Structure 1
Amino acid sequence: MAPNDSAQTTEEAKDLAAGQRKAARYIVPVAVAGVAAATIGLVPALAASGDPDLPKISAQQLIEKMAASDTQQLSGTVKISTDLGLPALDGLAGSLGGGEGGDGEGSSAAPDSKLSGLATGTHTLRIAADGPDRQKVSILEDSSEYSLIHNGDEVWGYDSASNEVYHAKDDGQRDGKDGKDREAPEDLPTTPKDLADEVLKAADDTTSITVGGTSQVAGRDAYKLVVKPKQGGSTVGSITVAVDAENGVPLKFTLTPSSGGKAVIDAGFTKVDFSKPAASTFDFAPPKGAKVTEADEEAHRKAPEESEGFKGLEGFDGLNVIGEGWTSIAKIEGQGGKGLDGGKGGEGDAPPEAQQFLDALGDKVEGKFGSGTVFKTRLVNALMTDDGTVYVGAVTKDALVKAANADK
């Protein structure tokens, strides 16, 4: 019999939120194009036919099972598809000074240029983990492979297509609060667990959390935890996390938009093994003849003040959050009354590919705030007013306009 939840759900969600963040956290890039391009998603695992018959469990119990999971060793294959409703990002990435297709000086093995590619399309990843100090993620392509390896205090990125290597030292300073430059790349969500953790951290009394039945993922029995906004105006319809019934590990993450249609983000295992990976899995030495780029060289090359792609963005220095929970909207103040067009009332210094990207996403709107353009994806939307103020969040166009009107 498939489990379900009861009216306890509201209280359980409140219990879950105690001691955790009271509002969703949004990563808000200063460039509207970056809002869409930085949204990384992982997608669908293959579900087996038939739902397993598992003991009934409440949402609170399932969350506690996830929290109590001490699984630190696994390996497997993750299938990823992301549909944000975006135009192709290849030309845009090059215009903003990325590695491949950019100015030709950056390393194609740098993690940011490779992992950002997960923002669109379907991808297959092979992953392995052995505790907090050893992880490996490989993106499998038609005739090549990109691998990112963390082994102790070493971080390596390798692009077999170009035979280029990226190298960084992991000094253990993951929060940047020591004032030192952290050379290793920031953690990015590349598994269903990473994505589920972020959702549960943000859960509060604006959130409904229930158990929505059972499923099989990668041959393993799982419960389905369903997370939904209680507020209207969010672009998020629901989030479903398939949780391993035995060990509490999230096996699949699916985000469905409030507008309907296929999932925006759907990340899951097609194969998974919870035994300890071989130590050799995390070994790496640069192949003969490979070009090796050190992280500090890459960071210096991409410093914002030296990058053409960041010109005109220096004015966005004020950030405030309007609202709470799933309908939180970040307001970014622009100085000097300049928008992306540089205040010229037409095309400005943005590269042609970037301008084309923005035009493809934009809808002209008007209100008490004046006029502006709403840039749309299926998940994150942004309103840029003609005076350069940006309102951005996982909310509908109407919600953005309403927030801008109320802010005047």
Structure 2
Amino acid sequence: MAPYEPEQDTTEADELSAGRRKAVRYVVPLAVAGVAAATIGLVPALATSGDPDLPEITAQELIEKIAASDTEQLSGTVKISTDLGLPSFGSGMTGGFAPGAGGGGGDDEGGKGGKGAADPSAKLMELASGTHTLRIAADGPDKQKLSVLDDAAEYSLIHNGDDVWAYDSASNEAYHSKDGGGHADKKGDKGGKDLPKELPATPKEFAEQALKAAEKSSTSVKVDGSAQVAGRDAYRLVLKPKDSGSTVGQITVAVDEKTGTPLKFTLSPAGGGSAVVDAGFTKVDFGKPSASTFDFKPPKGTKVTEEGDGSKKPGHRGGDFEGEGPEGLNVIGEGWTSIAELKLPGGQGLPTSAAGSDEVPQDAAKFLDSLGDKVNGDFGSGTVFKTRLINALVTDDGKVYVGAVTKDALVKAANAAQ
């Protein structure tokens, strides 16, 4: 099926901006888990086939369709593949759901000084690497469930009213928050509660972040044909950065033709190759899930850690695009090419093989050297550490510049900051 329209230049940004803002603000969250990215909230085709013949629609109309979506109930299976070019964050067995994997630092006191193996902030970070299968269900803003499946274990997050439970079957540990995570819903004034937002887990969450970034940058937006995802007809919305220096090639969002719900999200890198992030439904049902889906009672013998022992709440977002960030954080630029600048403790960069220390042996420093590229500029000297999407420049005087940008863009930002 041919594309419906030519690319829309940023001269049309005024027309698209209102729709994007509305989409970001009003789309009903189907999130059952997620992460806020610090500087830019972004991340093989999954269950796609065919090329359905759908009525023509413009990019503006499709963005408005997403904004108008009133989907509050669904259940289904989501497959997420993430390839940043890094080793898996998990340990023990595929997917990282072995006992103690991603451990939350728990101890024998059931949460004194740590939140245990069921800690959502640790467990959900495992989604940032490899391929994972998730089962999700949602019934309005007060009932959601996400289960991360592994060959020999399952990790679940359940939000039901004021209760949020996290349960790790591998370790038989649970984490419980009585206030739903303890943070108000930013999309309204009702103080609604939700599951912790450590990492985007559904196509809708990824799409919201992409639209948010697109609103703040020079972006090409178009509808590029159609697709079929999880047996449903969908439009393909494509966003491309027009700013030079971004490592993002394009983002494709498959939007359900009937409901306006994002069904699939694909982030392709500017350098080519496989997708950095591919998250899509393989099965989806927009019917009301059974009420029992959201019931949870810890199995006998489960070690339960209660929230409120002084550790960070599961809902703490540690700094996101609009929230508070690490101390001394400065964001340079905006949108696709935004770069976070911060300082390392002690005002020193990473040790090099030429200058080992008592704390870091020369062999370890040499290993760090091998992971990055040495660079020089008006800022002095430093090392650039690269992934397929996020790159970071650590200067020898203890400053860090990080973003979804190229090495040259990081050096340019460091030079300009002098």
In the superposition, the TM-score normalised over structure 2's length comes to: 0.80
- Higher mean alpha-carbon deviation, 82-91 vs 245-254, is at 82-91
Alignment partner of 1:14 is 2:8: no
Q: CA deviation at 1:328?
A: 1.4
Alignment partner of 1:393 is 2:406: no
Alignment of 1:351-370 (within 5 A): 361-370=371-380
Residue 46 of structure 1 aligns with which residue?
47
Alignment of 1:231-242 (within 5 A): 231-242=243-254
Change (3 A) 1:70 1:339: same
Q: Distance in 2 between matches of 1:357 and 1:104?
A: 30
Q: CA deviation at 1:100?
A: 4.5
Q: CA deviation at 1:294?
A: 1.0
Alignment partner of 1:195 is 2:196: no
Give the letter for the 1:154 counterpart.
D
Question: Contact 2:251/2:267 (CA < 8 Å) preserved in 1?
Answer: yes
Alignment of 1:4-403 (within 5 A): 4-6=4-6, 8=8, 10-18=10-18, 20=21, 27-28=37-38, 41=43, 44-48=45-49, 50-90=50-90, 100=102, 105=107, 106-170=115-179, 173-174=183-184, 185-186=196-197, 188-204=199-215, 205-297=217-309, 299=311, 317-334=327-344, 336-341=346-351, 345-346=355-356, 349=359, 361-403=371-413
Q: CA deviation at 1:201?
A: 1.9
Give the letter for the 2:390 counterpart.
V
Question: Contact 2:339/2:402 (CA < 8 Å) preserved in 1?
Answer: yes
Kindly provide the CA deviation profile for residues 231-264 of structure 1, in whole angstroms up to 9, marking residues without a partner as x. 1110000000000011100000000000000000
Change (3 A) 1:54 1:349: farther
Kindly provide the CA deviation profile for residues 106-147 of structure 1, in whole angstroms up to 9, marking residues without a partner as x. 411111121111111011000000011110000000011110
Change (3 A) 1:137 1:252: same
Q: Distance in 1 between matches of 2:329 and 2:401?
A: 10
Kindly provide the CA deviation profile for residues 74-127 of structure 1, in whole angstroms up to 9, marking residues without a partner as x. 000001110000134347xx9xxx865575524111111211111110110000
Q: Percent identity between the aligned chains? A: 64
Question: Contact 2:401/2:414 (CA < 8 Å) preserved in 1?
Answer: yes
Q: Distance in 1 between matches of 2:358 and 2:164?
A: 39
Q: Which runs of 5+ in 1 are unaligned?
A: 30-34, 303-315
Q: Distance in 1 between matches of 2:361 and 2:197?
A: 27
Q: Which runs of 5+ in 2 are unaligned?
A: 23-34, 108-114, 315-325
Question: Contact 2:81/2:132 (CA < 8 Å) preserved in 1?
Answer: yes
Give the letter for the 2:287 counterpart.
S
Question: Contact 1:9/1:210 (CA < 8 Å) preserved in 2?
Answer: no
Q: CA deviation at 1:160?
A: 0.9
Question: Contact 2:202/2:279 (CA < 8 Å) preserved in 1?
Answer: yes
Change (3 A) 1:74 1:239: same
Secondary structure of the residue aligned to 1:297 is coil
In the superposition, the TM-score normalised over structure 1's length comes to: 0.82
Q: Distance in 2 between matches of 1:281 and 1:127?
A: 10
Kindly provide the CA deviation profile for residues 153-196 of structure 1, in whole angstroms up to 9, marking residues without a partner as x. 100011111111110123563369x9xxx996336311000110
Q: Distance in 1 between matches of 2:274 and 2:213?
A: 24
Q: Distance in 2 between matches of 1:368 and 1:221?
A: 53
Give the letter for the 2:308 counterpart.
D
Secondary structure of the residue aligned to 2:382 is strand
Q: Distance in 2 between matches of 1:368 and 1:289?
A: 60
Which protein has the bigger helix share?
Answer: 1
Question: Contact 1:358/1:375 (CA < 8 Å) preserved in 2?
Answer: no
Change (3 A) 1:40 1:55: closer
Secondary structure of the residue aligned to 1:232 is coil
Matched pairs, number:
372
Question: Contact 2:224/2:235 (CA < 8 Å) preserved in 1?
Answer: yes
Change (3 A) 1:202 1:391: same
Change (3 A) 1:335 1:79: closer
RMSD: 3.4
